[in-house]
Amino acid sequence: MTSIQQKGISSERISQSTSVNVDDLECSICRDLLWKPVACQKCETPFCSTCMNRWLANRTITCPTCCNTYIERKCPPFVTKVLSHLQIICFYQANGCQEILPYEALDKHEIECGYQFAKCPGCQLEMLKKDFVTHKKSCELVPMTCRDCKLMYKRNEATTKHTEKICLRKQLKRLKHEYKESRGAIQKLNIELREIRHLYSSIKQTVITFEDLPSAAKNLLHMPNVYKGFRWTKISYMHELLAIKKYSKSGYVSSFLPGDSLHVAFFGETATISIEPPNETFSLVSIMACAAWNDDLELTITAYRKSIEVNQHSVILLFGRPQRIMLQWKNIDKVVFKPSGGTAHPGCDEGPGAHVSLTQLTIDDLSLSSSDFLTFD
């Protein structure tokens, strides 16, 4: 905050008891006593800081006295020293203030002076600041806020708008709202905790990203009959370079994850993955997949154990944006992927339609020997 004083101090406010010669302490712009002075670096002429700011705002950047480019500097020390010896009458003397203060104490006093006018926020009556505290205690229109229920009301409304019953009802409503928010926050934290646990457990899991398949940079290739301990049926794969070169408008191009494998698997009809040898089981934790040509493509994933359906999940895939589909299916031996529906993504009208790009599979609980992990037939 600052005092109301925004330009030079009138000479009439200088106390008669002051023996200082003030002729050289006049602002060259407002012709009053300097207030919070600054000076020109070239000629060292002092000005009120507010006067100088107004001067520069309305004119070119020139000094009012020497016509050179104005560069501001601190007021010369001798001027500041002389000003500090002055005794100044408070601006609010006309309202009753009898204070006469040292120049350097004037600003702080006028900010806090009890003889400046203030307006009551309730009845809008203007009064001296020193009387406001007493007035506020009795004004019937002063706005009040209950510490307990936070309700805002005017003092004269206490018996109608802020009864004990209303206060308790408001507190109960606020507590219910806080409980609801806290419950939502706790649920969110629980979800995050579960995700963290899944991520932690995935350290011990196997993520299949197709990075070690023979290069499919020139042509589409079928998945080997047995790869990573699984038998793959009606699933092919391609290299990122091939996707960019031949299928630049497709979702294949953006399905390659940064820093991940240069291959993605894909299928356009019902495809299966089954454990090899058949008497083993595994757990499918999650897959990452996206639509290659269609918007709103539905993918239905079904899990089997000994030819009996044990789990099923359907999801709408995004075009070209791989999404992680959490499954957490345990003790299964076969998974069937069935894509269907959707409409051609803009610019992909000539595409083959319901194709799915498969970028990752996360599996667990495989009982395999090392020789089973990579076999090409």
pLDDT band, residue 253 (cuts 50/70/90): very high
**Residue range of the domain that includes 80:** 11-112
Closest alpha carbon to 129 in 112, 106, 105: 112
Whether residue 260 is predicted with pLDDT greater than 60 in this model: the reply is: yes
Q: Does 105 lie in the same domain as 238? A: no
Which range of 65-74, 226-235, 273-282 scores highest in mean pLDDT? It is: 226-235
Q: Does 365 lie in the same domain as 221? A: yes
Q: Does 97 lie in the same domain as 233? A: no
What local confidence, expressed as pLDDT, does residue 214 receive? 95
Span 339-352, average pLDDT:
90
CATH number at residue 256: 2.60.120.1350
Whether residue 142 is predicted with pLDDT greater than 50 in this model: the reply is: yes
Q: What's the CA gap between 153 and 137, in Å, rounded?
A: 15
Q: Is residue 176 part of a domain?
A: no
Q: Is residue 192 part of a domain?
A: no
CATH number at residue 73: 3.30.40.10
Q: Does 368 lie in the same domain as 239? A: yes
Q: Does 87 lie in the same domain as 217? A: no
Element (H, E) at 129: helix 129-138
What local confidence, expressed as pLDDT, does residue 5 receive? 59
What local confidence, expressed as pLDDT, does residue 328 receive? 92
pLDDT tens-place string over residues 188-201: 888 888 877 766 65
Note the residue count of the chain: 377
Span 17-27, average pLDDT:
77
Q: Does 213 lie in the same domain as 333? A: yes
Span 235-249, average pLDDT:
95
Burial of 167 (0-12, 13-18, 19+ CB in 10 A): middle
How many folded domains does the chain comprise? 2
Q: Does 87 lie in the same domain as 215? A: no
